[in-house]
Chain A
Amino acid sequence: MSTSGLLHLPAPLTRICTVPRGLWLREKLPLLSPGAAVTAVPTAGKREWPPLPPLDENELREQFVKGHGPGGQATNKTSNCVVLKHVPSGIVVKCHQTRSVDQNRKLARRILQEKVDVFYHGENSLVYREKQEAERRKQERKRRAKETLEKKKLLKALWESSKAP
């Protein structure tokens, strides 16, 4: 017995806009119960790059599973997976990270925004550039750690030699 159908919604989400990276997370998270599995989406630090290019809602097709009938009190559905497609590029994102349709819709847009950015801008996309930056910082830390180690060795050698009778 299949009670689910797919609703194609042009979805004019007037309340949902593409906000700068990480900002939207803080609106809704304050009271998650301890131990809740939270998606590891990096929050905004000092933003060096221009923000992600926004998505045009008119270019999106959204689906989420919804039963037939009046809905509301008359149904009890837990399926809130959101499937979001960016029509020009053909990229599809499926999100079932949270138990809220609303949150999943926002998350799906976030993920799609990043994927579309990578699709069109490749190495110049925000995701790539941040990866490069993180890699650069890591290499820098390694270099400094190595330097410090060398200095310590030198110091030790000097101390040893000063002890010699």
Chain B
Amino acid sequence: MGALRKALSWEVKLWGRVLRPLLSCQGRTGGTRGRTCSSRQPHPALAGLLSATGQVSHWTEVFEKRGIPEARESSEYIVAHVLGAKTFQSLKPVLWTQPLTPWQLQRIQELCSHRLQRMPVQYILGEWDFQGLNLKMAPPVFIPRPETEELVEWVLEEVAQRPCAAGAQGGPLILEVGCGSGAIALSLLSQLLESRVIAVDREEAAICLTHENAQRLQLQDRIWIVPLDVTLEGSWTHLLPWGPVDLVVSNPPYVFHQDMEQLAPEILSYEDAAALDGGKEGMDLITHILSLAPRLLKDSGSIFLEVDPRHPELVSSWLQSRPGLSLSLVAVRRDFCGRPRFLHIRRSGP
């Protein structure tokens, strides 16, 4: 870590040398004293470096030297973000080669120094996209993974195929366990205009962030965000007032405990371990949700879960050993990498 700090300060010093003369020129009204940089053309190599593409190349190289994963992607996202775009490729091409302002350069350097500390890009930018929605991101609340977009797609398909016997208020009524940043809840709400969601999480930070994102997206009218730990005895009874739900959706912590220490520093140092660690076989939260679900679901209501690729079999055997739950695994769906990732479990009968 000492070497990293030493190396980091070298980078900061370099940028100080570049930025100081540029920054000190800002206030001048075309004076003749001292070095006036405004009248002098920058050295061609420096000019390239001070453009968006130059910055991306430079920081990519810095990240690669320090062994930062996704070196190019990280610098592209950071530079694009400072220029007001979501991706580098979506920037107007003319912006790629124009010189950046001192403020922009400084901002890029600040954000890149976080990346040198292995902070995930989503936390650095403070926002990320999920299913076309832009959500605020803040450590240590779990960052939505791209696979989970497919979970939402599946739920939407199923809802379209089986319109629920909606009550007076329309539907479906959905319970999300472990809402995190609100990604799943809010993307369902935004695409199912009659739906309502009860979103629960045991972490205060997640409750706050879901709240904030709901307001950002003006979806707060159809979501109830409830601090709740479903693993606590009897806590589920707090959900009874809402009545039985049509769907239970969750991306519960499902990492096998023994795999936790192998996770990348981005994850281990910044994300809440409790949002990841599923216990011995990654099944702790999954089994809790499945145990509670029959008491909260309507007849023939459904549960949709994201899981580890090893779970479909484990869940299947677990359900078979608990016939009293009246739950059956009806389908397993693969993610875009071909791994079995999503489960559809249905409640049958009272």
The answer to whether A161 has its CB under 8 Å from any CB of chain B is no
Interface pair B341/A72, CB less than 8 Å apart: yes
Interface pair B86/A98, CB less than 8 Å apart: yes
A contact residues around B267 at 8 Å (CB)? 74-76
A contact residues around B214 at 8 Å (CB)? none
Interface pair B87/A99, CB less than 8 Å apart: yes
Interface size on B, residues (CB 8 A): 56
The answer to whether A158 has its CB under 8 Å from any CB of chain B is no
* Interface hits, A1-57 → B, CB 8 Å: 1, 3-4, 7, 9, 15, 28-33, 35-39
* Interface hits, B87-129 → A, CB 8 Å: 87-91, 120-122, 127-129
Interface size on A, residues (CB 8 A): 40
The answer to whether B21 has its CB under 8 Å from any CB of chain A is no
Interface pair A37/B120, CB less than 8 Å apart: no
Stretch at the interface among A100-108, A120-128, A130-138, A142-150: A100-108
The answer to whether B52 has its CB under 8 Å from any CB of chain A is no
The answer to whether A96 has its CB under 8 Å from any CB of chain B is yes
Interface pair B263/A74, CB less than 8 Å apart: yes
Interface centre among A37, A39, A81, A102 (most CB of B within 10 A): A37
B contact residues around A3 at 8 Å (CB)? 69, 264
CA distance A95 to B121 in the complex (A): 20
The answer to whether B304 has its CB under 8 Å from any CB of chain A is no
A12 to chain B, nearest CB (A): 10
B contact residues around A70 at 8 Å (CB)? 259, 308-309, 339
- A101 with B69, Cβ < 8 A, contacts A36-B86, A37-B90 known: no
Give the residue name and chain of the B residue nearest to A105 (CB).
Answer: B336
The answer to whether A61 has its CB under 8 Å from any CB of chain B is no
The answer to whether B335 has its CB under 8 Å from any CB of chain A is yes
B contact residues around A90 at 8 Å (CB)? none
CA distance A161 to B255 in the complex (A): 91
The answer to whether B77 has its CB under 8 Å from any CB of chain A is yes
- A1 with B85, Cβ < 8 A, contacts A28-B132, A101-B146, A103-B132 known: no
Interface pair B120/A76, CB less than 8 Å apart: yes
Interface pair B129/A100, CB less than 8 Å apart: yes
* Interface hits, B263-300 → A, CB 8 Å: 263-264, 266-267, 271, 276
CA distance A70 to B308 in the complex (A): 7
B275 to chain A, nearest CB (A): 8
B contact residues around A36 at 8 Å (CB)? 86, 134
The answer to whether A77 has its CB under 8 Å from any CB of chain B is yes
A112 to chain B, nearest CB (A): 15
Contact of B145 among A33, A76, A81 (CB under 8 A): A76
* Interface hits, B132-173 → A, CB 8 Å: 132-134, 142-143, 145-147, 149-150, 153, 157
Give the residue name and chain of the B residue nearest to A11 (CB).
Answer: B336
Interface pair B73/A78, CB less than 8 Å apart: yes
The answer to whether B338 has its CB under 8 Å from any CB of chain A is yes
The answer to whether A73 has its CB under 8 Å from any CB of chain B is yes
Contact of A102 among B127, B263, B336 (CB under 8 A): B336
The answer to whether B182 has its CB under 8 Å from any CB of chain A is no
B contact residues around A66 at 8 Å (CB)? 337
The answer to whether B246 has its CB under 8 Å from any CB of chain A is no
B148 to chain A, nearest CB (A): 8
CA distance A101 to B73 in the complex (A): 14
Interface pair B337/A7, CB less than 8 Å apart: yes
B contact residues around A4 at 8 Å (CB)? 69-70
Interface pair B132/A72, CB less than 8 Å apart: no
24 A/B residue pairs, CB under 8 Å, sorted by A: A3-B69, A4-B70, A7-B337, A9-B336, A37-B91, A70-B309, A71-B341, A72-B335, A73-B145, A73-B255, A74-B259, A74-B267, A75-B145, A76-B122, A76-B145, A79-B73, A97-B87, A98-B86, A99-B129, A100-B146, A101-B146, A102-B149, A102-B153, A102-B336
If A1-B67, A30-B190, A74-B276 are given as contacts, then 10 extra A-B residue pairs at C-beta distance below 8 Å, sorted by A number, are: A9-B337, A30-B132, A66-B337, A71-B339, A72-B335, A72-B339, A78-B70, A97-B89, A100-B132, A102-B336
Q: Which 6 residue pairs spanning A and B have beta carbons closest together?
A: A33-B134, A37-B85, A37-B90, A99-B129, A28-B132, A79-B73
